[in-house]
Chain A
Amino acid sequence: GENVEQHPSTLSVQEGDSAVIKCTYSDSASNYFPWYKQELGKGPQLIIDIRSNVGEKKDQRIAVTLNKTAKHFSLHITETQPEDSAVYFCAASTRGSQGNLIFGKGTKLSVKP
């Protein structure tokens, strides 16, 4: 079955710097890759997603890139702010979002003011 590996497990940056989180997946049939942000005491919140027919997607300070050949995708956050501090999860699915998302272990991002 699908396996998603996420690195790093913790990431500390200064406010204003960029942060990059990387994930690799094993199943070449995976075609949907969402990223979620989880704050303490809350459920995961979708921040951006990408499908396999697209190589890059941007939304303001957040961007995701996908390399299908290498089977990896990355989250890029520019101009980080203290409120970006949270745990970020990548996920992969072989059937769009219908049912079964396989998640990475998460990255705890700390943005120091």
Chain B
Amino acid sequence: DTAVSQTPKYLVTQMGNDKSIKCEQNLGHDTMYWYKQDSKKFLKIMFSYNNKELIINETVPNRFSPKSPDKAHLNLHINSLELGDSAVYFCASSRQTGVLTEAFFGQGTRLTVV
């Protein structure tokens, strides 16, 4: 069983469109994340979310919004897509331990905006 799964794996879309990427975890974790990895492999945190708190990286445009229908899911919605949004997006989850926060990652969604 895949611990953290994302769909779709590949997404090609035109500028200006609105798209969503889904993420599900079956680990019983209470915190989920979205990361963006650019073409140079640099990883940037976008959001951290649990049932109490949403933490947003202030550099993330408000066109990006996380939506969590339940504890096991954190979907990423992107409005008015731009060329610069092309990247690989990773979902992750962890259990809040206060000391050791090991994160488990999905396989990634490669988004290409044309």
| A and B part of one assembly | no
A positions within 8 Å CB-CB of B: none
